[in-house]
Every structure is written in structure tokens, then in C-alpha cells.
């Protein structure tokens, strides 16, 4: 098992890519700490993982709120003793053309997608240092690399996450911590399910592999970056996009 005796905190793990990563980590022997704002869905999914034989716990958290994140870190350290892997995956969208984007929607996306990553990393950094071989994996996006119409706030947040990833890779390397990011392209999730079929067809035409990715496709990248197989990989942005960003 690739993550045997490891403990991972995965934010935004009640749905989508985060949930797929939690399932893969659990199957590889990891103690999975699922953290999400959606308490009902998160608790249900954690129970499902336990029923399937996995080691999973759920904690409600608002990553945009520092006090909430600090409480999460304190509980995790008290109840689990340490953390080896941190997956900063919690994120939201509030899409709008720039001319119509409100200050509130701009700021809310940055609060969760960017400041939330900062909060969680700072809160769990002592535990990751103590681990001696910590891994931090941040969720970026194709939008953060190439921009996207109607996503000023989202693209800005993800571009900034990429910048933080590279900065932390340099800062934390001497502490034995690898910091990398995954940049998913168009992935089948609850977010993309709302896209009209006509628009989906147009988007598929831009993807060389001719299909949207699955949450499991992205989760495979997280598993690789969390495992010992990536021990000499630091500061990269791993694109999981079917070739759309070439």
C-alpha cells in the first residue's frame, strides 16, 4: 500500500475531486481526515469509507475562517497525533463577466480558494515539519494557467495558488516537505454538470482526448504526489487536462 501508516488532511473532500482523492488514499492504507464546509455530505461520505474498510474521519471547517482552521488543526493533532500529507482542495466559483462581477463575489472566491490555502498550510505546517517527510498538494486549475472568460476571480485565485506553491517549494524544501500543485482541466463534477450540453460539446472539441476528465483522473495525480514515488518532485504544476492546455 502506497500510503500505509500515513495521515492525510484533505479539504473540500465531501464532493468531486477531493472525495475521489479521499477514496484513493484510503484504499492505499492512509488515515484520511476529510474536512469540508458541508457537514452532512462530508460525514456521510466518511462513514461510507469506513463501511468499505477505510480509515476515515470527518471534520467540518470553513477554510476562509482562520479560527475554524485553527480549531480543525488542534482537533486533528489531538485525536490523530500528526499529519504527513495536506491536500488543499477546498474551492468555490462565482462566475461572472468582469463588467458584472461584484466586489463581494470577487472577494469570496479569493477568501476560500486563496486565503483558505494559506490558512490551512500555516496551521498544519508544524505537523508536516515534524513528520520529517511532509507533502503539500494544492489544487490549481487550467484557469489559473491560461485564464478563462467569466472567471476573473477564480483564475486570479488559482494563479496565486500556483505562485504560493512554487514559493513554498523553495521555503519548505529544507524542512523535508515537498510542495506541488495539480491543475485539473475540465473535470466531471457537480460544477461542470450545470454546463449546457451545447457548451459541453464545444468544450469537448477543444480537448485532444475528446472527453471531460473524471474526478478519479485527477485523484490519481494527487495520489502520485502524496506517495514516495514523487519524493524528488518539488514545485511543479501537474496538468490533468486531456491536453487542452498545450
The answer as to whether 96 is a domain residue is yes
How far is it, in rounded angstroms, from Cα 131 to Cα 140?
A: 25
3-state secondary structure of 196: coil
pLDDT in tens, 27-55: 999 999 999 999 999 999 999 999 999 99
Is 139 a residue whose pLDDT tops 80?
Answer: yes
The answer as to whether 42 is a domain residue is yes
Length of the chain: 246
- CATH code at 53? 3.40.50.720
The answer as to whether 245 is a domain residue is no
3-state secondary structure of 135: strand
The answer as to whether 246 is a domain residue is no
Active-site residues: which are they?
154
Using 50, 70 and 90 to split pLDDT, how confident is the model at 193?
A: confident
Residue 216 C-alpha cell reads as: 478519479
The answer as to whether 126 is a domain residue is yes
Q: Are 198 and 214 in contact (CB under 8 A)?
A: no
Minimal CA–CA distance to 234: which of 158, 146, 154, 133? 133
DSSP letter for 96, please.
B
Structural domain tally of the chain? 1
pTM, full prediction: 0.96
Partner residues linked to 135 by β-bridges: 85, 178
How far is it, in rounded angstroms, from Cα 232 to Cα 119?
A: 26
Can you give the C-alpha Rg of the chain in angstroms? 17
Residue 82 C-alpha cell reads as: 500528526
Per the structure, the complete domain to which residue 86 belongs is given by 7-238
The answer as to whether 1 is a domain residue is no
Is 216 a residue whose pLDDT tops 80?
Answer: yes
Amino acid at each position: 500500500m502506497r500510503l500505509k501508516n500515513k495521515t492525510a488532511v484533505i479539504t473540500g473532500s465531501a464532493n468531486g475531486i477531493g472525495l475521489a482523492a479521499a477514496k484513493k488514499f484510503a484504499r492505499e492504507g492512509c488515515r484520511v481526515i476529510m474536512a469540508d464546509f458541508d457537514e452532512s455530505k462530508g460525514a456521510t461520505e466518511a462513514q461510507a469509507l469506513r463501511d468499505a474498510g477505510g480509515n476515515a474521519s470527518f471534520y467540518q471547517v470553513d477554510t476562509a475562517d482562520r479560527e475554524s482552521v485553527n480549531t480543525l488543526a488542534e482537533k486533528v493533532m489531538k485525536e490523530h497525533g500528526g499529519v504527513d500529507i495536506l491536500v488543499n482542495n477546498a474551492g468555490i466559483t462565482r462566475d461572472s463577466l468582469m463588467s458584472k462581477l461584484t466586489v463581494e463575489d470577487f472577494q469570496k472566491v479569493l477568501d476560500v480558494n486563496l486565503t483558505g490555502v494559506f490558512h490551512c498550510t500555516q496551521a498544519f505546517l508544524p505537523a508536516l515539519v515534524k513528520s520529517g517527510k511532509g507533502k503539500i498538494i494544492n489544487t490549481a486549475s487550467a484557469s489559473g494557467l491560461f485564464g478563462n472568460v467569466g472567471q476573473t476571480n477564480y483564475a486570479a485565485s488559482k494563479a496565486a495558488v500556483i505562485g504560493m506553491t512554487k514559493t513554498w517549494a523553495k521555503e519548505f524544501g529544507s524542512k523535508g516537505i515537498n510542495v506541488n500543485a495539480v491543475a485539473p482541466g475540465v473535470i466531471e463534477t457537480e460544477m461542470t454538470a450545470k454546463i449546457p450540453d451545447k457548451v459541453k460539446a464545444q468544450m469537448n472539441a477543444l480537448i485532444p482526448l475528446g472527453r471531460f476528465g473524471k474526478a478519479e483522473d485527477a485523484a490519481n495525480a494527487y495520489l502520485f504526489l502524496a506517495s514516495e514515488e514523487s519524493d524528488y518532485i518539488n514545485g511543479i504544476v501537474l496538468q490533468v487536462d486531456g491536453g487542452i492546455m498545450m
